[in-house]
Chains A and B, each alone.
Chain A
Amino acid sequence: MTQIQSPLPGTFYHKPSPEEPAYKAQGDAVAVGDVIGLIEVMKTFIEVKAEAAGTFASYVAENEAPVMAGAVLAELDD
């Protein structure tokens, strides 16, 4: 199990925009550098990228949840 942590504090989004599906769903293949969500802070959206490859297990932080730096956002199965 690999955890993806938030690089900075802000608001976490699963989707690129409200009308679109989440970046990843359970069972999706994840490659290094794949975007799994967005963090909004200071009127900027920052892409959260996977730093390890694996299979997407689940989001841990909820969509639109406030998160701190280092918070676990999602988990991958190795």
Chain B
Amino acid sequence: MTLKIVKPGLATSIQDLGRPGYFHLGIPEGGAMDRLALRAANLLVGNPEDAACLEAVFMGPEITFTADASIAITGGSMPILLDGEARDGWTSFNVKAGQTLSFGFLTGGARIYIAVSGGIATEPALGSRSTYPIGALGGFHGRNIAAGDEIPVGDAALVEEGRTVPVVLRRGPGNPAELRVLTGLYWYRLTEKSGEAFFNDTWTVAPEADRMGYRFRGGQPMEFVEREQPFGAGADPSNIVDGCYSYGSIQVPGGSEPIVLHRDAVSGGGYFTLGAVISADMDLIGQLQPNTSVKFVKVGMEEALQARADRKAMIAKIRKELV
């Protein structure tokens, strides 16, 4: 069967859990910005957790199905309509050949995941179907979906309708969203006062935020410890001799607006990174709309590892509910 794309929405892309292992070559991991939501969507329709889904940001696509299928939509909140009739999020339901899925206005979060039984069956690239448009890698012919595309889907049996993820196991950011941060190698570049301000200030998601990075503004500009810039580093105090960036690392070009590097980020460069958002909280960033408030919360390694374990336990609970 195929999914006929009537309206693509905005930058709707095919995503799975990504292609780890190539970041050292400058090819990002890619994959869903909200990994828990993608896993849950797949489990709801009986797919392997890492099957490819559609990730839609801020507005939903309009899709006609060419065959019967079970589908589920997770992540942000958006009215779900099947031939104009309302359906529930985080819950499996069946569609018939010829029916059309569409969406109302986004009411919460930022991204939705549309899983179809059988999974999206485009050709994988470097072990993943995730779309990396800048590298023309994965996705549908290396790009985001467009009107008129017919996206192939694998064959699978239908699942029971009404399978659902309990509300307590659906995770989204609070308001203000709290993002836990481990300070990093270059933390020493900030003055003590400036480091405190970073955690005390309330930041706002900038409209430029995308799959490469989430930019924040509204906090005080950074103050750097004075130094003579080392050979090979740029002239600005926010510059370093080029180094590696990690998933989640926070760079602050010019010392003004922090950028948290996300799934499609560059792998290195010449800006200092003050630390990294812990892996357990990266999914929350994927659900932030522009202009929402964010606080960065300082944590230690122990707390970060505990949060990671808690996240794993939450996914295990979802699995137990649905498998």
Interchain CB contact under 8 A, A9 and B208: no
Interchain CB contact under 8 A, A8 and B59: yes
Interchain CB contact under 8 A, B105 and A69: yes
A-B contact count (CB 8 A): 50
Interchain CB contact under 8 A, B10 and A70: no
Interchain CB contact under 8 A, A9 and B106: yes
The reply to whether the CB of A1 lies closer than 8 angstroms to some CB of chain B is: no
Interchain CB contact under 8 A, B291 and A69: no
CB contact list, B182-222 vs A, under 8 A: 207-210
Interchain CB contact under 8 A, B59 and A42: no
Hey, what's the 0/1 contact readout for A42-78 against B, CB within 8 Å counting as 1? 1110100000000000000000001011100000000
Interface residues contributed by chain A, number (CB under 8 Å): 17
Interchain CB contact under 8 A, B207 and A8: no
Q: What residues on A are CB-neighbors of B210 within 8 Å? A: 42-43
The reply to whether the CB of B73 lies closer than 8 angstroms to some CB of chain A is: no
Cβ distance A43 to chain B, nearest Cβ, rounded Å: 6
Interchain CB contact under 8 A, A8 and B58: yes
Hey, what's the 0/1 contact readout for B267-292 against A, CB within 8 Å counting as 1? 00000000000000000000001110
List 16 A-B pairs, Cβ < 8 Å: A6-B105, A8-B58, A8-B59, A8-B106, A10-B290, A11-B207, A11-B290, A41-B207, A42-B10, A42-B207, A43-B210, A68-B289, A69-B105, A69-B107, A70-B104, A70-B106
Q: Which residues of B contact A (CB under 8 A)?
A: 10-11, 57-59, 104-107, 207-210, 289-291
For the complex of A and B, the 8 pairs showing the least CB-CB separation, nearest first, are A70-B105, A8-B58, A69-B106, A42-B210, A69-B105, A66-B291, A8-B59, A9-B289
